[in-house]
Chain A
Amino acid sequence: MAIDTRVDSTQRTTRRRSGSSRGMNVGLPIVVFFLLLGLFYLAALYYDKAKQLPFLVPYPHLILKAVFTEPAFQTQLVQALGSTLLVAVVGLVIAVVIGMIWAVIMAQAKWLESALFPYAVVLLCIPILALVPLIGSLFGYEFKSRVIVTVLFCLFPMIASTLFGLQSIDKGQRELFQLQGAGRFTLLMKLRFPAALPSIFVGLRNAAGLAVIGAVVADQFFQRGNGGLGVLISIENQRLNGPEMYAAIFTASILGVLVFVLFNVLRRLAIGKWYDQN
């Protein structure tokens, strides 16, 4: 480590600073991870010995054992993961398409924005639980309904970020185009859309995280067909299989984190070169 820093010191100081802060980014979370693991063991011990309810909080090593040594459960877990992933991806794609179109329409005129934005806010405020029976009877208790719930989860961030991005251009830039007689479409493609990309990527990242959450939550409501991680969690819960249930919960969480990281990387690849974070 020390040698690395030495070698680096020939480069600019900013480089070195970002390098060392990345070191902290990894170091501290690892410390926290072991603290949490310790707490987990304490809790497991308490539920095992004092409460006699070991399946509520199983020992972490039992969770690992369930994942790595039970082929039958492994198959179930992988299938559930695939199903959740499919629902999340389809839901996300639909939300991205609808969200961007919605935002582009709103960005065309102030009156369109005031006419349509309230309905975007309604999306945010819908108690999805209240719609569940309706969605179920209309679209069945399988894939379609899960996707619809997922879309409801992640549509708003897409709309809001895209709209914010499209409106982020400054007056001077807009007038530069106006002076050349550029039309709406040219303005959109050559100015508004590229300018909106940083914001759109923030929206994508958040929407992707919510898509995973939405897909898992949707499983709780619509349990027929190829169940996802949410279905697996309920089943293992009913069977009082603590380690298996936790394994499914952690898989869902890790999926959410991975999706978040993936979109951060995509964002950096797409706009990192020209976009100054500050």
Chain B
Amino acid sequence: MSALHPKNAAHKAALLGAEHWLCMERARYYTESHRESAGLHPSLRAARAMQRVFEKMTVRIEPDELLVGNRSSQLIAPPIAPERGDFTFIFGHLMEELKEFGYRISPSDERVLRDEIIPYWQGKTVRDAKIAAFQRHGLSSPLNVSPREIRRKLRTFGVGALVRLVVEQEDEGDHLDLVARLPRLLRAVRAGSGDNLKGRGRCTDTQAHIVLGHKNVLRLGFSGIDAAARARRKSAKTDAERAFLDSVELSCEAMRAFSERFAVAALAQVGATSDPERRAELDAIADICTRVPWLPPQTFAEALQAIWFTQNAAIISYGAGSGITPGRVDQLLFPYYQADLAGGTLTRAHALRLVEEFIIKLNNNVIIWPNIGGVRLNHLGSDVENITLGGVGADGEDATNALTMLFMEAITNTNLATTASFRVSKHSPKDFVRQVVAIHRETNSPAFLNDETAIQAMVRDGYRLEDAREYCLVGCVEPSGNGDTYGATGGSKVYFPTALDMVFNRGKTSFFGNQDGKDTGDPTRMGTFAAFLAAFYTQLESLVGWVTDATNLRDTIWAENFHNPLISSTIDGCIHHAEDMTQGGATYNFGAVGGGGLGTVVDSLAAIRTFVYEEKSVTMAELRDALASNFRGRAALRKRLLTGPRFGNDLHPVDELARELVARFCAMVSARKTACGGHFKASLISYGLNVYEGALEPATPDGRMAGEPLSNSMSPSNGAERRGPTATLNSLARIDHTHIGYGNSLNMRLPVGVLKSEKGIESVAHLVHAYFHKGGFHVQFNAVDSATLRAAQARPQDYADLIVRVSGYSAYFTRLGRRIQDDIIGRTEFETST
């Protein structure tokens, strides 16, 4: 492997050392335009607003950059989309905390935020409309956080959980400070959980989570997209269709004007630069920016710049934290790479430098997570812009190419938290998996995806086979169409332990306490485990119903008010249907419902079966009371429950519970229709949020205490894996992964030291091959040992670039909250024989 190009080493150092800012440019100009466009069609309002943003926002060319296109006025400052409501909520309530976490904001930006942006959007955002709609439909209720209620919840959840819910703050020394802040924080809790779904799941404000149509931008340029919209306008039948097509034209024009601003900036810098090499680079930048993304690119450098411009502009338009995905970059770029190499106009070394720079830029995608319980999740670092590498092409033949390898090298050299998905098929080069495993010695990024399983799942969900083969990974590990799908692969979720809680409480959740669900009867009178399980599935079915209803209400708000013609213009189907992606314009439309806490609930069900129904050593009443009191005074019972059989150990009866649960959950989810006419798809992913997902869940029959983390994604509970990696993979593979349309993830810590020997690397590759042969969909490995992680906790400054994977995320370990750090350390390390 080569070393990171010196200029890219400087870019990387700048990124890692940069201050985190809050920049109001995107928010301010969008708001300014929106104020003026009342009464217009939502597509036109959005197009005009983005046109204003691209005209007025700061354009920066960083020293020695070859790829240009900044996100905001600072090197690190996420673009803020106030119309969503998640950002305005967090700024309105938690600015103090954001500043504590190191975010800076200029006094003038803070003034604009306080005096213009927040007041204008009050009551108009997606979030505001969503909360009102949920309440109208009885889906959420105002959260009572009176002191009396707090006392009640403290009894069930313990101080830790509630404090964690408010703000991750476990240091006793800060107690006074916390008490002082408590009233404000409780107001934040109330506002932040306004969409609470009564504790029965989650439905975020955003949709997105899509693969951009970079393929169309490369093929047509925005000039070609513009022409297609004009042509389609001739046959448009309604004002709404014409308005959408006009908005596409405006968006294309805006993209052209935006890139030309970079050409102008580059030329301005030429004059101010004496270094002849840099002058030549700036000239080249100016040339490229006058051509792309307006015209179809002709060279590798132009193609990469076109992708970056489009990617960056899409993220500015949707706002940070939206899972905007570049897709199959090795496939998109390969024709240009090949032609340039053949024509002698490009060297591999130069292509590598460009790709390294591209990857560094992808990692500059900091998010401010608007999750009240997870404030510190903004320290996850980057939102995911997952790049998909390798796999088969539309014809079913292996499409792994020289650029796949070049990207692999660039990912290794940059050693950042790049989320990269390596597609593996039966036709992949023989050594491919081993090579990807070997890069774990240097960086922790890669995930493995199984083409056979993913493609089968896509076809099952209605994709044409050729389209299915082009799938890309969105967000963490969600397979979605390549620029032809409005996927919204994330954001809505139910937690399996909630259904269990509602069985024990006969339709109520412990945290909210309202009688909202069905009374499935007295659990102490359920004579058989089958009867208990039936009650559990009844509750789960209701959860899925609520969360899909909520999601459809939210999606209707987007469809009626907040369009994105820029992104839509790149997606197959939108111009043809003359409809925005939020209205169902794309060729394929789906929604998502995640399921959380599989390991926790399977272990819990197994414990109930074993102790209550088989051994009869615990009565259901004892268990119910123990859970309600968070095991207070029942340490012996808890200890016993902890000895129960666990998912992830190749135990057939336990795995069978998991298999059935996933199959039934997926069937419940796919049976529900989305607002756009497609159906929902299930996923089992935690987005690294499992620590917070447990905060509202009471104690569970697996011995987990109230408020403790749930199990992560489809992985077994922390510490449950005791029979080594093959046993865990066998357990996981008993589940039919082709039903899980939006994917599942399995995170495995590699045995410490296994990467030191060739035999070890080869054996890990064999694990992947065998797991995929058995139908597994995804696996990724963490190769950092716990001693290193503890050292990093103690001396974060020395480990600034230590990367781990949290669920499908890659993240900088030292920027994670302490609890997530501990959760990672707590993950089982398998012992191998030596």
Real binding pair: no
